[in-house]
Structure 1
Amino acid sequence: MGLTPRAALFFAAGLGTRMRPLTDDRPKPLIEVGGTTLLDHALTLGAAVTRKVVNTHYRPEMVERHLAGRDIAISDERDLLLETGGGLRKAKPLLGDGPVFTMNTDAVWSGPNPFDLLREAWDGGRMEALLLCVPRDMALGHGGKGDFVFDGDNRITYGPGPIYTGAQIIRPEVVDEIEEEVFSIRLAWDRLIARGTAYGLLYPGRWCDVGRPESIELAETLL
């Protein structure tokens, strides 16, 4: 099994309820920020990844039309929204063997390419997941006290610290340990944190969570 991630899953299946009314007639990844859809912002960052997969559920035909003609596989969840963990498990046959990138498609970035940073920091000999996080003072459009704390070796546990950006490398076979069909990727993290193989990496630029309509202006200012 290769140690260098060559595939990426871009999560685009959510209902986008926080982004209403803008998502009444389109999925959130097709909302434009700075003249480009959120989905294309993410795909551009992952342009160097060999194999790209996008999952769909809400208004899937719109995403399919948007991606038509590109070398991007679709993981179709139109019959059942599987959440991030279940979505990763369904997409596994399309992603191939080895660790994979996953990225949420509701953020914009200002700084180094997150895929490059994760790839450079990945150590497949000791890591089963590497989560890219951002210090709270470098995050826009995101409330709360943070998601993780880092120890001296950059292993992570849950707590008030840096915010998870939605980008990671993970060994997808961990999702096969979970019995539920519909589940969050957090259930996989629970297992990896418990066995000390979940690590964090700090993003040195700025990041904006585009989860609500009012965040679009923040994101365009950042861009």
Structure 2
Amino acid sequence: MSNALMSDRMPDTVMLFAAGFGTRMGALTADRPKPLVPVNGRALIDHALDLVDSAGVPNTVVNLHYRGQMIRDHLVGREITFAEEPEILETGGGLKAALSLIGAGPVLTLNSDAIWQGPNPIEMLRAAWDPETMDALMVLIPPAQARGYQGQGDFHRADNGQLTRGARAIYGGVQILKTDGLALIDQTAFSLNLLWDQMLGAGRLYGITYPGTWCDVGNPAGLKLAEQMLEDTDV
């Protein structure tokens, strides 16, 4: 298969970010990694993997650092490839370091610290992905539909889905993106914002709007909001 065709195929791998220290969670992450913090009795990473399983994505790569063995033990029996990081590499550096495990072509990336109420965002991305015009496609959350989020917003979305920097929508932590541009970043630890900046400059960063509710589980207050959101769903 040519490099061009491999770059444009539908992604068949999810990169799940699970390496961070989770310091904003305080005492909750003193003895466990953030992805193992329970939300309504199930670990955060299990909620994230529910999305992967439901969407039928065949391959999953999980990056590890802080208390990584605990995550390995928790996921025993699942067909998962682990990418152990000797130091925190941030999202961009973590993805770049795992490219040998992911392979060529676009990849789905998923943060492990959010709870979703509504349609599966991975399925939404795969249905809307257009590699002819896009280098990345991300799920955006309108601020009115976000819980637990303390930032200022990330992007403005035009009617055609094209993105610019702004505060009208929040990046929900799940996307499809081509990884070619990582080779142009001469750093080891860096944010995916550097890759997005390349795509923004080329007019090839796109987003879709999530119609449901999303909760950022970044601190204990966000955890309580996520649990309430799930309890309301079960009623």
Superposition deviation, residue 80 in structure 1: 1.4
Match of 1:70 in 2: 78
2: distance between equivalents of 1:133 and 1:222? 19
Where in structure 2 are the equivalents of 1:63-212 lying within 5 Å?
Answer: 63-77=71-85, 79-212=86-219
**SS of match in other structure, 1:112:** coil
1: distance between equivalents of 2:152 and 2:33? 28
2: distance between equivalents of 1:142 and 1:75? 28
Q: After the TM superposition, list the runs of 4 or more consecutive aligned residues in structure 1 that deviate by more than 4 angstroms.
A: none
Superposition deviation, residue 175 in structure 1: 1.2
Superposition deviation, residue 97 in structure 1: 2.1
Match of 2:57 in 1: 49
Superposition deviation, residue 29 in structure 1: 0.3
2: distance between equivalents of 1:175 and 1:136? 30
Deviations 1:188-210 (A, max 9, x none): 00000000110011011000000
**SS of match in other structure, 2:45:** helix
Superposition deviation, residue 84 in structure 1: 0.3
Superposition deviation, residue 145 in structure 1: 2.7
**SS of match in other structure, 2:214:** strand
Superposition deviation, residue 37 in structure 1: 0.5
Deviations 1:19-40 (A, max 9, x none): 1110000000000001110001
Deviations 1:37-73 (A, max 9, x none): 0001001101111110100000111011111221000
2: distance between equivalents of 1:36 and 1:71? 19
Q: Pick from 51, 60, 85: which aligns with 2:68?
A: 60
Answering whether residue 46 of structure 2 is matched by residue 34 of structure 1, we say: no
Match of 2:233 in 1: none
Normalised by the length of structure 2, the TM-score is 0.92
Match of 1:22 in 2: 28
Consecutive unaligned residues in structure 1, runs of 5 or more: none
**SS of match in other structure, 2:29:** coil
Identity of aligned residues (%): 48
1: distance between equivalents of 2:147 and 2:157? 21
**SS of match in other structure, 1:46:** helix
Q: Which amino acid aligns with 1:146?
A: G
2: distance between equivalents of 1:72 and 1:173? 24
2: distance between equivalents of 1:124 and 1:97? 14
Deviations 1:137-179 (A, max 9, x none): 0000002331100123211111111111000000112211100
1: distance between equivalents of 2:58 and 2:159? 33
The structure whose residues are more often helix, as a share, is: 2
Superposition deviation, residue 9 in structure 1: 0.3
Aligned pair count reads 222
1: distance between equivalents of 2:136 and 2:183? 15
Query: Cα RMSD (Å) of the superposition?
Result: 0.9
Q: Which amino acid aligns with 1:13?
A: A
